[in-house]
Structure 1
Protein backbone atom coordinates (compact mmCIF):
# COMPACT_ATOMS: atom_id res chain seq x y z
CA UNK A 1 0.00 0.00 0.00
CA UNK A 2 1.42 3.40 -0.95
CA UNK A 3 1.07 6.37 1.34
CA UNK A 4 -0.02 9.76 0.01
CA UNK A 5 2.60 12.43 0.58
CA UNK A 6 1.88 15.69 2.38
CA UNK A 7 0.90 18.47 0.00
CA UNK A 8 3.72 20.73 1.23
CA UNK A 9 6.49 18.28 0.34
CA UNK A 10 8.03 17.91 -3.10
CA UNK A 11 8.22 14.21 -3.86
CA UNK A 12 11.46 14.40 -5.85
CA UNK A 13 13.31 15.86 -2.84
CA UNK A 14 12.06 13.41 -0.20
CA UNK A 15 14.80 11.57 1.67
CA UNK A 16 14.33 8.41 3.70
CA UNK A 17 16.52 7.94 6.74
CA UNK A 18 16.78 4.81 8.85
CA UNK A 19 18.73 4.93 12.11
CA UNK A 20 18.92 3.02 15.39
CA UNK A 21 18.11 5.20 18.41
CA UNK A 22 19.04 4.27 21.97
CA UNK A 23 18.09 5.68 25.35
CA UNK A 24 14.40 6.43 24.76
CA UNK A 25 11.54 5.13 26.89
CA UNK A 26 8.12 4.25 25.55
CA UNK A 27 6.64 7.71 26.31
CA UNK A 28 9.62 9.45 24.77
CA UNK A 29 9.26 7.37 21.60
CA UNK A 30 5.58 8.28 21.32
CA UNK A 31 6.34 11.98 21.79
CA UNK A 32 9.17 11.90 19.25
CA UNK A 33 7.07 10.12 16.61
CA UNK A 34 4.15 12.47 17.26
CA UNK A 35 6.36 15.57 16.89
CA UNK A 36 7.99 14.21 13.74
CA UNK A 37 4.69 13.34 12.07
CA UNK A 38 3.35 16.83 12.83
CA UNK A 39 6.47 18.65 11.63
CA UNK A 40 5.80 20.47 8.31
CA UNK A 41 8.98 19.15 6.65
CA UNK A 42 8.54 15.52 7.69
CA UNK A 43 6.47 13.39 5.37
CA UNK A 44 6.33 10.25 7.52
CA UNK A 45 7.97 8.87 10.66
CA UNK A 46 7.58 5.55 12.41
CA UNK A 47 9.26 3.34 14.97
CA UNK A 48 10.42 0.00 13.67
CA UNK A 49 11.48 -3.05 15.74
CA UNK A 50 14.78 -3.01 17.67
CA UNK A 51 14.68 0.77 18.26
CA UNK A 52 14.94 1.74 14.61
CA UNK A 53 13.54 5.09 13.54
CA UNK A 54 12.46 5.47 9.92
CA UNK A 55 11.84 9.04 8.74
CA UNK A 56 11.02 10.51 5.34
CA UNK A 57 11.52 14.27 5.08
CA UNK A 58 11.84 17.07 2.54
CA UNK A 59 15.57 17.51 1.99
CA UNK A 60 15.21 21.08 0.72
CA UNK A 61 13.98 22.38 4.09
CA UNK A 62 15.27 19.95 6.69
CA UNK A 63 18.45 17.97 7.37
CA UNK A 64 19.66 14.95 9.28
CA UNK A 65 21.41 17.27 11.77
CA UNK A 66 18.08 18.86 12.71
CA UNK A 67 16.64 15.37 13.12
CA UNK A 68 19.51 14.45 15.44
CA UNK A 69 18.90 17.60 17.50
CA UNK A 70 15.26 16.59 17.95
CA UNK A 71 16.27 13.07 19.00
CA UNK A 72 18.76 14.53 21.48
CA UNK A 73 16.06 16.85 22.87
CA UNK A 74 14.03 13.76 23.77
CA UNK A 75 17.03 12.21 25.52
CA UNK A 76 17.97 9.75 22.79
CA UNK A 77 21.20 9.12 20.95
CA UNK A 78 22.25 7.18 17.89
CA UNK A 79 23.77 3.75 18.28
CA UNK A 80 27.54 4.19 18.26
CA UNK A 81 29.78 2.41 15.82
CA UNK A 82 31.64 2.64 12.57
CA UNK A 83 28.63 1.82 10.40
CA UNK A 84 26.48 4.50 12.04
CA UNK A 85 29.18 7.14 11.50
CA UNK A 86 29.51 6.06 7.87
CA UNK A 87 25.75 6.25 7.24
CA UNK A 88 25.57 9.63 8.97
CA UNK A 89 28.33 11.01 6.72
CA UNK A 90 26.45 9.71 3.66
CA UNK A 91 23.18 11.23 4.91
CA UNK A 92 24.86 14.63 5.33
CA UNK A 93 26.37 14.41 1.85
CA UNK A 94 23.03 13.58 0.21
CA UNK A 95 21.29 16.34 2.21
CA UNK A 96 23.74 18.88 0.80
CA UNK A 97 23.35 17.42 -2.69
CA UNK A 98 19.54 17.60 -2.61
CA UNK A 99 19.66 21.20 -1.37
CA UNK A 100 22.08 22.15 -4.17
CA UNK A 101 19.96 20.41 -6.81
CA UNK A 102 16.83 22.19 -5.61
CA UNK A 103 18.53 25.59 -6.14
CA UNK A 104 20.01 24.70 -9.54
CA UNK A 105 18.55 26.45 -12.58
CA UNK A 106 18.56 24.01 -15.50
CA UNK A 107 19.86 25.08 -18.90
CA UNK A 108 20.13 23.53 -22.30
CA UNK A 109 23.44 23.63 -24.15
CA UNK A 110 21.79 23.43 -27.58
CA UNK A 111 19.95 26.75 -27.15
CA UNK A 112 21.29 30.00 -28.48
CA UNK A 113 22.54 32.13 -25.58
CA UNK A 114 20.52 35.25 -24.80
CA UNK A 115 21.68 38.32 -26.71
CA UNK A 116 22.98 41.37 -24.88
CA UNK A 117 21.12 44.62 -25.52
Structure 2
Protein backbone atom coordinates (compact mmCIF):
# COMPACT_ATOMS: atom_id res chain seq x y z
CA UNK A 1 0.00 0.00 0.00
CA UNK A 2 1.36 3.43 -0.98
CA UNK A 3 2.11 5.99 1.67
CA UNK A 4 -0.47 8.81 1.64
CA UNK A 5 0.83 12.21 0.56
CA UNK A 6 0.60 15.35 2.60
CA UNK A 7 -2.71 17.13 2.13
CA UNK A 8 -1.15 19.93 0.05
CA UNK A 9 0.21 17.61 -2.67
CA UNK A 10 -1.56 17.49 -6.04
CA UNK A 11 -1.07 13.95 -7.38
CA UNK A 12 -0.92 15.08 -11.03
CA UNK A 13 2.08 17.32 -10.27
CA UNK A 14 3.94 14.91 -7.98
CA UNK A 15 7.62 14.33 -8.89
CA UNK A 16 10.60 12.63 -7.28
CA UNK A 17 14.12 13.98 -7.79
CA UNK A 18 17.57 12.58 -7.00
CA UNK A 19 20.62 14.85 -6.99
CA UNK A 20 24.24 14.29 -6.05
CA UNK A 21 25.60 17.00 -3.75
CA UNK A 22 29.08 18.38 -3.06
CA UNK A 23 30.46 19.75 0.19
CA UNK A 24 28.04 17.79 2.37
CA UNK A 25 28.80 16.86 5.98
CA UNK A 26 26.70 15.55 8.87
CA UNK A 27 25.69 18.99 10.17
CA UNK A 28 24.70 20.22 6.73
CA UNK A 29 22.77 17.01 6.05
CA UNK A 30 20.50 17.57 9.04
CA UNK A 31 19.97 21.30 8.43
CA UNK A 32 19.36 20.94 4.67
CA UNK A 33 16.91 18.07 5.17
CA UNK A 34 14.91 20.00 7.76
CA UNK A 35 14.89 23.20 5.69
CA UNK A 36 13.71 21.47 2.53
CA UNK A 37 11.03 19.59 4.46
CA UNK A 38 9.58 22.94 5.59
CA UNK A 39 8.96 24.14 2.00
CA UNK A 40 5.24 24.14 1.18
CA UNK A 41 4.68 21.49 -1.49
CA UNK A 42 7.47 19.12 -0.41
CA UNK A 43 6.15 15.65 0.40
CA UNK A 44 9.33 13.78 1.35
CA UNK A 45 13.03 14.52 1.68
CA UNK A 46 15.92 12.22 2.53
CA UNK A 47 19.67 12.58 2.27
CA UNK A 48 22.08 9.68 1.91
CA UNK A 49 25.10 11.15 3.65
CA UNK A 50 27.48 8.34 2.60
CA UNK A 51 26.75 8.82 -1.12
CA UNK A 52 25.85 12.54 -0.87
CA UNK A 53 22.53 11.94 -2.63
CA UNK A 54 19.46 14.10 -2.04
CA UNK A 55 16.09 12.43 -2.65
CA UNK A 56 13.11 14.76 -2.64
CA UNK A 57 9.48 14.37 -3.70
CA UNK A 58 7.32 17.42 -4.24
CA UNK A 59 4.39 19.02 -6.02
CA UNK A 60 5.97 20.66 -9.09
CA UNK A 61 2.97 22.96 -9.35
CA UNK A 62 4.08 24.64 -6.11
CA UNK A 63 7.83 23.99 -5.88
CA UNK A 64 10.58 23.70 -8.47
CA UNK A 65 14.13 22.44 -8.49
CA UNK A 66 15.50 26.01 -8.13
CA UNK A 67 13.73 26.32 -4.76
CA UNK A 68 15.41 23.14 -3.56
CA UNK A 69 18.83 24.22 -4.90
CA UNK A 70 18.53 27.62 -3.19
CA UNK A 71 18.15 25.89 0.19
CA UNK A 72 21.11 23.61 -0.55
CA UNK A 73 23.36 26.54 -1.45
CA UNK A 74 22.13 28.65 1.46
CA UNK A 75 23.48 26.00 3.84
CA UNK A 76 26.92 25.68 2.25
CA UNK A 77 26.49 22.65 -0.01
CA UNK A 78 26.12 22.57 -3.80
CA UNK A 79 24.96 20.39 -6.67
CA UNK A 80 27.73 18.13 -7.99
CA UNK A 81 29.19 19.23 -11.31
CA UNK A 82 29.36 15.79 -12.93
CA UNK A 83 27.96 15.41 -16.43
CA UNK A 84 25.13 13.08 -15.39
CA UNK A 85 24.04 15.28 -12.48
CA UNK A 86 24.04 18.41 -14.67
CA UNK A 87 21.96 16.58 -17.29
CA UNK A 88 19.40 15.44 -14.69
CA UNK A 89 19.28 18.92 -13.17
CA UNK A 90 18.46 20.52 -16.54
CA UNK A 91 15.84 17.84 -17.25
CA UNK A 92 14.28 18.46 -13.85
CA UNK A 93 14.09 22.20 -14.62
CA UNK A 94 12.45 21.54 -17.96
CA UNK A 95 9.88 19.09 -16.61
CA UNK A 96 9.07 21.27 -13.55
CA UNK A 97 8.39 24.23 -15.86
CA UNK A 98 6.32 22.04 -18.17
CA UNK A 99 4.21 20.69 -15.30
CA UNK A 100 3.59 24.20 -13.95
CA UNK A 101 2.59 25.57 -17.36
CA UNK A 102 0.24 22.66 -18.10
CA UNK A 103 -1.37 22.89 -14.68
CA UNK A 104 -2.37 26.52 -15.30
CA UNK A 105 -3.92 25.89 -18.71
CA UNK A 106 -7.38 24.54 -19.29
CA UNK A 107 -7.97 22.04 -22.10
CA UNK A 108 -9.38 23.69 -25.20
CA UNK A 109 -10.70 20.63 -26.97
CA UNK A 110 -14.45 20.09 -27.07
CA UNK A 111 -14.18 16.30 -26.75
Q: Tell me, yes or no, whether TM beats 0.5.
A: yes
**2-structure distance, mates of 1:21, 1:82:** 13
Structure number with bigger Rg: 1
Q: Provide the alpha-carbon RMSD of the alignment.
A: 1.4
**2-structure distance, mates of 1:81, 1:24:** 15
For 1:13, the equivalent position in structure 2 comes to: 13
For 1:33, the equivalent position in structure 2 comes to: 33
Preserved contact between residue 24 and residue 74 of structure 1 (Cα < 8 Å): no
| CA displacement, residues 41-95 of structure 1 (integer Å, 9 cap, x when unaligned) | 1110001341100001111111111111110001001111211111111111101
How many residue pairs are counted as aligned between the two chains? Answer: 110
For 1:58, the equivalent position in structure 2 comes to: 59
**1-structure distance, mates of 2:38, 2:3:** 16
Which blocks of at least 5 consecutive residues in structure 1 are unaligned? 111-117
For 2:74, the equivalent position in structure 1 comes to: 73
Which blocks of at least 5 consecutive residues in structure 2 are unaligned? none
SS in 1 for 2:71: helix
